Structure 1
C-alpha cells in the first residue's frame, strides 16, 4: 500500500529528508533528491521573519520543480503570525505545509516556539488549526516525544492534531530536554502507530544512520516511513542504500571516490548558482569534510578547501583529490 499525504503519493515506504537549519537548503536538497529522497522539507522558516519580509526568511521559500514533492516548514510562537506566514508560504507553491514543534534550541524554544509548544498542548492545537484553515495544502507536523521525561505527551498530541486536520506526523524519538544527546527511543512512536484512532501516516526520526538500522526499525516500530537527517550530510547516498537493502536484503556498495567528487562539485555549483559566488563558496565550507570522511590524511586538503575563495582553484583541488586517492580502497572497505 502506498503512503499518501493528501493527494501526494509517496510510494510504499517513503524516506524523508529532515529539515535541518543551515543544511537543508536547495543545493543540499538537490544532491539528496539525486540520492533517492522521496519527500524533502525546507529549513525551518520564522513566521515573524516572513511577515516582516526579512530577506533571509524569504530566501528560504525558494523551491524548484526537481525537488517535488516538497514541504515548507514554518515555526513561531504567535498563532496569528503563524496563520499569516502560512498564507505567504502557500503562495510559494510547495506541495505541503509543515509546522515545527520539535526544534529544541534555546533561541527557538525559549521564545515559545518549536518544542516549547509541547508544554502547552491547547495552544499547539489552536495554532495548528489556524494553519490548517489558512491553506488549501495538506498540513503535516514534526515534533518530539514531549518536553522532558515527565511530560511525554506525544500520544495526546497525535490524537488531537489528527482531529483538527493534520495529514501526517513525524516524531523525533527524543524529548526536548535530551536535545540530540542519548539514544532516540522509538517505542512511543510504535504505540502511536498501534493506536486504532490514528489513521494518518506516522514517520519516525532520530538516529537512523544505516540501511540495516532503517530495515530493523521499520519492522520493529511499524512506522509508515523514516525521516533521515544528520546521516545524509555529506552522504546523500544513504537513501538509495536503504532502498536497495529493503528491496534485495543486500548492501549496495558505498559511493566511489568519483561519485563523492561529482556530488561535492554538484553541491558547490548549486550553492554558487543559488547564493552567488561569495556566499556560495563560503557556505560550502562546512560540507567538505563530510563528503570525504574516511579518506586518510585528508586534513591537508580540507584546510586548503575551506580557506580557498577562488572557484577555479577549488575545482583544481577537487581534481587533485581525485588523482591522489584514486587507488585508495573504496570508502565502504575503509574504517
Structure 2
C-alpha cells in the first residue's frame, strides 16, 4: 500500500491534480464517485489566506466523502507560508501540498509556483519552514525544472525528501514548456530508481487513456499517477483506468444518460456551492468535454454556454438526453 505519512491511499493510487477553477468540490465529487483515490483542492494563495480573502478561504471547504484530501497552497514568502500552513491545519485535511509547479505568469513573476524553480535553495528552505510549521504530512507538486538547461529535479527530490516531505508529484515538463509538447517522464523514472528515495513519487502529464496509464506505470515504476486535464468533463477516466489495470479490458465509454446525469449533478452542485451566477459561469468550461463526440452538438453547446437561468440549462440537458439517447446520434 502507498502511504503519505500515515495516510493510506491505496495500492496504486490515481490522484486528481489540483487545477485552478476546476478542482472545486462539485468537480471533486464526480471524480471521487468514479474511483479517484486522492484529490487536491484548487491551489490557494497564502497571501489570500492570511488576509482572510473570501475566495481563498472558500477553497478550504472540504467534505468527509472526499477524504483523503490535500489542500494545496502557493506563495513565496516564508512567514506567509508558515502562517498559511497553520490555517490549513485547522481545516483538517489529510495532507498539505505545496505548489511549486504552476507556470502561469502572474504566479511565476512573484517567485511562487514554478517561479521558485529558478532558486532551488529558496525552494528547499521554504519547504523546510512549512514542514516545521504543521503536524500535517507535507507533499510537493513541481516540474522538471525551469527550462531544458535547469532540469534539477533529481537533486530537488533528494533535498525535499531530506527536509521532510512525505510524497512528491512531478509534472514531466519544464516551466518554459507550459503545457506544450510531450511530457517527459524519463527523469521521473530515474528518481524512482534512486536508492536514496523512499517517499512515494507520483507522475503527472499526458495520461489520457487506460493504455497509457498502464504503459507509464510499468515503464517508469511510479507509485501512482496524477491526472489533470484528461479528467475535465470526463471523470470516468478513473474508473476506466482501474478497470483496465484489473482486467486488461477497456470499459465502454459512458452512455449519453451518464454524461447528462454527470453534467446535471455538476451544475446543481456548482450552483449550490458558488451561487447561481458564478456556478453557471464556471460550469461552462466543462460542457465541451461532457459532450465531446456528439454529432451536431454545436448548437446545444452554444446554448449551454450562453444561458444564465438554471432551469433553462436543465431543460437543455434534458433535450440533449432525449435527442442523443441512442448510439446512432454519436460520432
| Bin of the TM-score, shorter chain as denominator length | over 0.9
- SS of the residue corresponding to residue 103 of structure 1 reads coil
1: CA distance between counterparts of 2:129 and 2:39? Answer: 23
Q: CA deviation at 1:330?
A: 8.3
CA contact (8 A) 1:257 1:330 kept: no
Kept in 2: contact 1:49–1:57 (CA 8 A): yes
> Is contact 1:143-1:171 (8 Å) kept?
yes
Distance in 2, Cα, partners of 1:183 & 1:285: 27
Q: Aligned equivalents of 2:2 and 2:265: distance in 1?
A: 31
Question: How many residue pairs are counted as aligned between the two chains?
Answer: 331
Match in the other structure for 1:287: 286
1:22-42 per-position Cα deviation (integer Å, ceiling 9, x unaligned): 111111111111111100000
Q: Which residue of 2 aligns with 1:308?
A: 307
Q: Tell me, yes or no, if the aligned pair for 2:295 and 2:329 is still in contact at 8 Å.
A: no
Q: Which residue of 2 aligns with 1:22?
A: 21
- Map of 1:87-126 to 2, 5 A cutoff? 87-126=86-125
* Counterpart secondary structure, 2:93: coil
Superposition deviation, residue 328 in structure 1? 2.8
Match of 1:65 in 2: 64
- 1:53 is aligned to 52
Q: Which moved more, 1:321-330 or 1:41-50?
A: 321-330
Please provide the CA RMSD for this pair: 1.0
Contact 2:294/2:329 (8 A) holds in 1: no
Per the alignment, residue 269 of structure 1 pairs with: 268
Aligned runs of 1:98-247 on 2, under 5 Å?
98-247=97-246
Specify the SS of the correspondent of 1:91.
helix
Matched position secondary structure for 2:278: helix
Provide closer, same or farther for how the CA distance between residues 330 and 241 of structure 1 changes in structure 2, counting only shifts above 3 A. farther
SS in 2 for 1:169: strand
Shift in Å, 1:7: 1.3
TM-score (norm. length: structure 1): 0.97
Give the Cα–Cα distance (whole angstroms) in 1 for the partners of residues 280 and 180 of structure 2. Answer: 31
Quick one: structure 1 residues 246 and 329, their matched pair in 2 at CA, closer, same or farther if it must change by over 3 Å?
farther
Q: Could you tell me how far apart the structure 2 residues matched to 1:45 and 1:296 are?
A: 39
- Conserved 8 A contact 1:256-1:330: no
Structure 1, residues 10-55: CA drift from partner, whole Å, max 9, x if none? Answer: 1110000000011111111111111111000001101111111111
- Please report how far the alpha carbon of residue 257 of structure 1 lies from its aligned counterpart in structure 2 after TM superposition: 0.4
Match of 2:184, SS state, is coil
Shift of 1:134: 1.0
Q: Is the 8 A contact 1:305 1:317 kept in 2?
A: yes
Structure 1: 5+ residue runs without aligned partners? none
Deviations 1:174-223 (A, max 9, x none): 01111101100000000000000000000000000000000000000100
State the shift of 1:146 in Å. Answer: 0.6
Where in structure 2 are there 5+ consecutive unaligned residues? none
Match of 1:12 in 2: 11
Mapped partners of 2:30, 2:329: distance in 1: 20
Please give the secondary structure, in 1, of the residue aligned with 2:213.
Answer: helix
Alpha-carbon distance in structure 2 between the residues aligned to 1:255 and 1:78: 45
CA distance in 2 between counterparts of 1:39 and 1:157 reads 23
Deviations along 1:244-268, whole A, 9 cap, x unmatched?
A: 0000000011100000011111101
1:286 CA displacement: 1.5
